[in-house]
Amino acid sequence: MNNFSIQTIFFFRTSFMKMFIRNIFIFLDLFILQYNYAQSTNIIDSTVLKWKSYFNHFYGADYNLMNGIRYINIYPSAEGHPFLGEDRFYQGNVVINNQLFRDVEIKYDICNQEIILQYQHFSGGTDKIILVKEFIDEFVMDGKLFRKYNFPETVPGFYQVVSQSNIYCLYYWEKDLLKGSSVQSFYKYSPERKLSYLVIDNKLRSFKGRRSFVKLFPPEYHKDIMQFLKSNKIWIRDADEIKIRQLMAHCNKLIQGN
């Protein structure tokens, strides 16, 4: 038997064993969940957890997190990039199917509205996958919280949560892929674009500047809100998130006081 045949047999045997072991731990996870549900105590055989930890260490991260398709940059020569912020991976957190994963490496493709995860492969290298957006509840990247919302006015999507109260502020980030202007680059990415919203009575309402912001509130509050904007020198288009949170706190206090 030649070396190619031996290597091929070894590869398939190794792959089969990995799949077999992975399926065993899927079964063990289901068993643990059923055990916790059926019993009043949370005592789980430490041997099971040790073997699961051993498996994750040598064969990759949690398979609940490793759920997606391999990421490939199909426009490598395009000018710019499709990501929010810089074209690099940020350390953050992601919640998938109500399960929190901390200290993961992610970046946010705002052109395609996808989350790219970089993870340590069991062989020692790194790999990148596109997480299944339908399974993602929220994520934190670069200190910003993004949450998936499904409003009647729009398709389900990720919004940056700027403030949280009865009336709250959301940002939606996006980019476009455009035709390039040079022979070297057939495509280019537009600058990142921020769409600003208030959520009032569970309805998404857009605003751009001071006037459109104030008009989202009942007429009797217009003068007070405009005065707050002027006295605190808040220009809606350029205001940082701290200023917007101060503004939203004032508006909620004003509404709740009546």
- pLDDT tens-digit series, residues 116-144: 999 887 677 899 999 999 999 999 999 99
95 and 186 in a single domain? The answer is yes
d(CA 216, CA 144): 25
**Average per-residue pLDDT in the chain?**
82
Q: Looking at residues 17-33, what average pLDDT do you find? A: 48
13 and 100 in a single domain? The answer is no
Q: pLDDT at position 136, please?
A: 95
Residue 216 domain flag: no
Q: Which positions ≥6 away from 140 have C-beta within 8 Å?
A: 92, 93, 94, 146
Residue 167 has pLDDT above 60, yes or no: yes
18 and 48 in a single domain? The answer is yes
Q: What is the rounded radius of gyration, in angstroms, for the C-alpha atoms of the chain? A: 24
Q: Which positions ≥6 away from 254 have C-beta within 8 Å?
A: 221, 224, 225
Q: pLDDT at position 179, please?
A: 92
52 and 119 in a single domain? The answer is no
What is the percent of the chain with per-residue pLDDT over 70, rounded to a whole number? 74
127 and 182 in a single domain? The answer is yes
Q: How buried is 42 (Cβ within 10 angstroms: 0-12 exposed, 13-18 middle, 19+ buried)?
A: exposed
Q: Which positions ≥6 away from 171 have C-beta within 8 Å?
A: 159, 160, 162, 194, 195, 196, 197
The helix or strand, by DSSP H or E, that contains position 141, with its residue range, turns out to be: strand 136-141
With cut-offs at 50, 70 and 90, classify the pLDDT of residue 226: very high
Domain around 185: 68-207
With cut-offs at 50, 70 and 90, classify the pLDDT of residue 111: very high
Q: pLDDT at position 5, please?
A: 43
81 and 160 in a single domain? The answer is yes
Higher pLDDT, 232 or 258: 232
Give the pairing type, strands 136-141 and 126-131.
unpaired
Helices then strands, counting H and E runs in the chain, come out as 5, 13
Q: pLDDT at position 45, please?
A: 55
Q: pLDDT at position 258, please?
A: 60
Q: How many domains does the chain have?
A: 2
Residue 226 domain flag: no
Range from 53-62, 124-133, 155-164, 175-184 carrying the lowest mean pLDDT: 53-62
Q: What is the pLDDT of residues 30-88, one digit of tens each?
A: 444 444 444 444 444 565 555 555 545 544 456 667 778 999 999 999 999 999 999 99
Instruction: Give CA 66 to chain center in angstroms.
Output: 14
Residue 27 has pLDDT above 90, yes or no: no
Residue 243 domain flag: no
Residue 91 has pLDDT above 80, yes or no: yes
155 and 49 in a single domain? The answer is no
10 and 119 in a single domain? The answer is no
